[in-house]
A and B are shown apart, each in its own frame.
Chain A
Amino acid sequence: MGLDLIGYKPWNGKRTEHNRRFLVIADSIVKQKLSSRWLLGLLILGTFLVHIIPIILNSLRPHEVLESSVMIDYMEGGLFYIFDIILVSLVCSDLIAEDIRSNSIVLYLSRALPPERYLIGKWLGAMSVICLFTLVPPLAMSVAITATQTGPDYVASLAVIGQTFLAGLWTALFLVPIGLMISALTNKKTYAGVGTFMFFFVLSIVAAILSQMSNDWTLLSPQNVLNDTYHVLFGLTLPGDVNLVLLGVMAFALTVPPIIPVYYRILRKGVGK
């Protein structure tokens, strides 16, 4: 490798995409994740095991209309949740941890990119990938069931499609902040990946143990919180023993506060602390 004797050429173009910087980060994450064979393999396997079979079975089964109970039974499945958390662990593990380890976070923040936009870019990238599993297949299933329905009430089916959209989006919204938080707490992506999975897994076990004292403790489990919020989103009545206020508090606690340490960690790392 020798020095190429080309002189420095100033660039006379105009920079016009200042407001799209966070989209550049999100776009880069989606491309990087979808070029990973491991992740792609997991997505394909999960889609086949979790989504394809229910889509075929529910479409073939005689039905008059798309019912929310069908969708909720499908989305509450344990396998769906397990693949969700494995996927979140894999997708989010390196998002911030790797930038901290490699110090590239300094390059991001030395650009005209405020920490919050950096964070939004990372969040949006993770959301886009996770939604490929939590949003797109449920939507496909709801559309497939609607397309094969025998009854005339397409408006009701359309409403359930809308609710499915919200539920799929909510699943990603619910899971990604924890993944980002744990990724920001370490500079090793392996720790972040295992840590994210263990966070969801351990909380579920602890909730199962403590629920013997009071049923409210079941809401310590992210899976239970997610399943109960599906009931709310699909307009179904919650199981009688679920405390709605506590459900709201837990849904909030698992989605909003985890972003705060991420933000401050980015701020600190940006100045090299």
Chain B
Amino acid sequence: MIYISNLESSEQGGATTTDSDPSGVSEAENTIIATDITVQYDSVIALDHFSINIPKGIVGLLGPNGAGKSTFIKTVLGLVMPQHGDILVDGLDPRKDVMSIRDRVGYMPEHDCLIDAMTGVEMVAFFGRLSGMSKEDTIPRSHEVLDFVGLGEERYRPISTYSTGMKQRAKLAQAIVHDPEILFLDEPTNGMDPLGREEMLTLIGRIGASNKSILVSSHILQDMEQICQHVIIINNGKAIMQGTMAALLDQGDSRKRLKVRGKPDSILKFVEHLRQKLEVLSTSEEYGQLTIVLTNRGGSDVILNLARDDGIQIRAYLPDRITLEDVFIRSVKEEI
């Protein structure tokens, strides 16, 4: 796995790969430490020697469908026992202290999981009581969390009549009713419209601001980019990359994106000249325009001079911005 930290600088623009400190934080600050976990369902290996350290804050667990995200959450909850490896949640081992761990955790599953016959407030209060809260405490607390997630008068309606967005809010409410220290959110924006998605992300951000550890599993990368401070990318049951969001997206000031137009043979000559003077990372052609990603620590005059000499039009010359999607696709492709 590649660990990316922005604590150290490197030639590639401030981000570096390191094998010594997985999360970029000290071990004591990690909420969950998984070492060499293997989980197998019959012949399918869901987690394959999976090792990650999850720090406090909002952490995104990214991966394609079937990558092992939900299995990892279930392993932490002690619902699935690993065949191999060790896992510690707040210093507790799910094999020995599974109930203590579950008492500290709130879980919002991916799929529908609500009790249709109950009203929103009944269900949240019910799960509050199942978390060990007294009857006197659960009622005001349920209303408090339902206010927080934005379920108004709908809370008195049976859950079977809820829209997908309301169900997602109710799922979040039941996960936080007992004020857990660690929150697992599995695809929290699943099936929500853009406005609802935005609101859900705001809610997660607010919970995260109250010093909770939140592990968000999702394949909607824009959402993750918006809220997560730390990202773990997994694929085929393996953790393939982890680091802070800032480090993952930091390409450094020297990485530039150059767009040029011109005659095909002139462009070829220009690229060849460019390679002799600068580090060209990639080239791609689209609609008769060539996009070149390169590293240039100096000024732009080298490029301008080359373009003038080779008869090339420069259409754009900008710092290269990378999205989480780019990082994700690149790391998954590298893994393949």
Contacts and interface: CB of A to CB of B under 8 A. Distances in A.
The answer to whether A and B come from one shared complex is: yes
Contacts of B137: 11, 13
B321 interface: no
By size class, the interface of chain B is 35 or more
Given A8-B207, A9-B148, 6 more contacts: A13-B134, A17-B134, A24-B126, A111-B130, A112-B132, A270-B79
Contacts of B199: 3
Contacts of B103: 15, 18, 112
20 contacts: A1-B150, A1-B166, A6-B147, A11-B178, A13-B133, A13-B141, A15-B178, A17-B132, A17-B133, A25-B130, A102-B112, A103-B113, A104-B114, A108-B130, A110-B102, A111-B102, A111-B130, A112-B131, A114-B99, A271-B79
B279 interface: no
A111 B131 contact: yes
A270 B133 CA distance: 22
Interface in A113-156: 113-114
A15 B133 contact: yes
Interface of B: 41, 70, 74, 77, 79-80, 99-100, 102-103, 105, 107, 109, 111-117, 126-127, 129-134, 137, 141, 144, 147-148, 150-152, 154, 166, 174, 176, 178-179, 199, 202-203, 206-207, 209-210
Contacts of A271: 74, 79-80
B113 A104 contact: yes
Contact of A102 (B116, B133, B166): B116
Interface in A75-103: 98-99, 102-103
A10 B151 CA distance: 18
Given A16-B134, A110-B105, A32 B148 contact: no
A6 B148 contact: yes
Contacts of B115: 98-99, 102, 104
Interface of A: 1-4, 6-11, 13, 15-18, 21, 24-25, 28, 32, 98-99, 102-104, 106-114, 270-273
Contact of B141 (A2, A11, A17): A11
A107 B116 contact: no
Given A16-B132, A28-B126, A270-B79, A3 B179 contact: no
A21 to B, nearest CB: 5
Contacts of A3: 150, 199, 202-203
B150 A107 contact: no
A61 B96 CA distance: 63
B37 to A, nearest CB: 15
Contacts of A98: 115-117
A2 B150 contact: yes
B52 to A, nearest CB: 20
B328 to A, nearest CB: 25
B235 to A, nearest CB: 20
Contacts of A2: 150
Nearest to B102: A112
B79 A109 contact: yes
A94 to B, nearest CB: 8
B117 A32 contact: yes
Contacts of A6: 144, 147-148
Contact of B147 (A4, A270, A272): A4
A103 B111 CA distance: 8
A109 B73 CA distance: 13
Contacts of A15: 103, 131-133, 178
Contacts of B133: 13, 15, 17
